Structure 1
């Protein structure tokens, strides 16, 4: 009888152990797995580093152009047209061979004064200086003022015969106005073409019509929260100064932008794409980037560090003391600022604002 009780007790004990083991093993499959340490929620940040950054306050803006009436380009000599580079909506540039009359190449040049006569060696004056300035812009090593000399004539011959070796380059005895077509700007867009290959033309015949000169370029809506400082405007790789009202007023700057206006396309350095010219629009426009001429040095923190934000700025807090700041911009998860008190020494870190923080009063 005793042996029977001992056997029964042993069986019950083994059964209980097996039941416990089965439960432990099963729980590994039934309970959700514990995430690895790298995936567990991070502790909430208690403070943020204050960084130093260069700030250009770059803004994407839309620029509207205004231009004068279309103008005509005229041929400087008469004869049979043996070559023409004119194409509707095509571009012509100063320094380009744009036509041939009786087999003689015609060079397009933009000069401040249209040439009206041949310029002999040793000639001088405003028209000679205009030729010197443009040849220099095209790459010649010349002074802006002076006489017609060998350097001027050689630079001009190089424009007419760009593919000829130096030892075979023809020598010019004078500046031949009859082989130079005047352009009103360094780059023009042809509206229409008036000559055809093989046509016989007279001196002064219309070569084609071009878009009128650019007279104005202005930012449509100037951002109201710009950081103070002089600014530049960049469109399709061309950077020009812009005044406080958002207008480009400098004559040289408008001339630089004339190519952007004439080409009528393109992006403006990451600002998107748009048409800078349209036959249907009296005021075509294009996107550009407005930025400070000189980057300013500012501080930066994550937006979560700033509280008490208003039109005049915001607040930071560090070790129980609040700091009033001027917010100059926000980009890519950073708020850029300067302290209201220029003499304030900023801490290396600022604290996470408390729910009770509302203003910049000392804590």
Structure 2
């Protein structure tokens, strides 16, 4: 939360007339932190996801699909003609059958996927004996006959370890051709951005606070960090609108990442105002300040020269030269 200076009038016990005048024209100010909070609207940009497709033609004999649910890499949520079909995430799509000795980026990706699922294999880039054994163990874990080769008809490629389900486009007992969509995935959150960047911001790096998520923002108002996007994607306010392919505006707070020190003074204490520049006076001296904002009848300022005094004149003494 942002806080502003606490204001307190100087008090005196049994003052004489001169002291009354001095007390009435002096105001104590206390420096406080200020992070220039602004209410903003965030727009969530999404792109339509590719569906998950049947790896073989035939009759669907098992189909574990529920709208709003998910499929996980390393499982077999679908069977065609009585044979379970393995869902497998790899960084590179599995574009060919592998029998033994093949090399390439797809083999690297397969080895990393097997290792992440707990089936020990080294990333050698070669479809070697150890990789064939690990793949056979994975097949067996989902009810597929042990087979020391990659048969693309047995494997549905997944672009991420977990696949959200926006809708089920196939069904038990249906006949499907190879490559037919069996489920639609929710749109992918690609970037979160400020619908518009507020004007008159205090210079400095900024963050956005949305729900439980706090994120750094680029100068043009975008959140690009994949880790942060994952957190935003799981926020209840976002998941409630996950099926929408249109930009979704959501409320957030846009604030300085590092609060600055300010004081709150009455507007009448300012002299020689020129844009955001002004002066305050105290005890016959002037102090240059930058006007930052107005809040609850006070003006928030910070020094641009010497440190500010503990008390300011109210009203400011315009006879004292500014600066």
Specify the TM-score bucket, using the shorter chain as the normaliser. 0.5 to 0.7
Tell me what 1:323 maps to.
287
Tell me what 1:284 maps to.
248
* TM-score, length basis structure 1: 0.57
Alignment of 1:296-315 (within 5 A): 296=258, 298-302=260-264, 304=266, 307-308=269-270, 312=276, 315=279
Tell me what 1:126 maps to.
105
- Which whole-Å CA distance do the structure 2 matches of 1:189 and 1:151 have between them? 28
Change (3 A) 1:332 1:355: closer
Greater fraction helix: 1
Once the two structures are superposed, what CA deviation does each residue of 1:177-213 show, in whole Å capped at 9, x if it has no partner?
A: 4454334556655332122235454432321223444
- Which whole-Å CA distance do the structure 1 matches of 2:171 and 2:164 have between them? 18
CA contact under 8 A between 2:277 and 2:288: conserved in structure 1? Answer: yes
Change (3 A) 1:352 1:336: closer
Tell me what 1:64 maps to.
43
What RMSD in Å do the two structures reach over aligned CA positions?
A: 5.2
Once the two structures are superposed, what CA deviation does each residue of 1:260-315 show, in whole Å capped at 9, x if it has no partner?
A: 56x6x634xxxxx8965464x733233345455xx436213345599437752555
- Which whole-Å CA distance do the structure 2 matches of 1:306 and 1:122 have between them? 83
CA contact under 8 A between 2:119 and 2:134: conserved in structure 1? Answer: no
Change (3 A) 1:133 1:336: farther
- Which whole-Å CA distance do the structure 1 matches of 2:268 and 2:138 have between them? 63
Specify every segment of 5 or more residues in structure 1 that has no aligned partner in the other structure, as ranges: 1-40, 163-169, 268-272
**TM superposition shift of 1:80:** 5.2
Change (3 A) 1:113 1:103: same
Larger Rg: 1
Specify every segment of 5 or more residues in structure 2 that has no aligned partner in the other structure, as ranges: 1-8, 12-22
CA contact under 8 A between 1:81 and 1:201: conserved in structure 2? Answer: yes
- Which whole-Å CA distance do the structure 2 matches of 1:332 and 1:138 have between them? 58
Tell me what 2:4 maps to.
none
Tell me what 2:30 maps to.
49
Change (3 A) 1:94 1:260: farther
Change (3 A) 1:130 1:358: farther
Tell me what 1:354 maps to.
314
- Which whole-Å CA distance do the structure 2 matches of 1:99 and 1:107 have between them? 7
* TM-score, length basis structure 2: 0.62
Tell me what 1:99 maps to.
77
**TM superposition shift of 1:220:** 0.8
Change (3 A) 1:199 1:121: same
Alignment of 1:1-363 (within 5 A): 43=11, 46-51=27-32, 53=33, 57=36, 59-69=38-48, 71-78=50-57, 81=60, 83-88=62-67, 90-92=68-70, 95=73, 97=75, 99-101=77-79, 102=82, 104=84, 106-109=86-89, 111-119=90-98, 123-131=102-110, 146=125, 150=130, 173=148, 177-184=152-159, 189-214=164-189, 217-233=192-208, 242-248=217-223, 253=225, 257=229, 260=232, 266-267=236-237, 276-277=241-242, 279=244, 282-292=246-256, 295-296=257-258, 298-302=260-264, 304=266, 307-308=269-270, 312=276, 315-327=279-291, 338-341=302-305, 344=306, 346-347=307-308, 350-357=310-317, 361-362=321-322
Change (3 A) 1:202 1:65: same
Secondary structure of the structure 1 residue equivalent to 2:289:
strand
Aligned residues: 295
Greater mean alpha carbon deviation, residues 235-244 or residues 320-329: 235-244
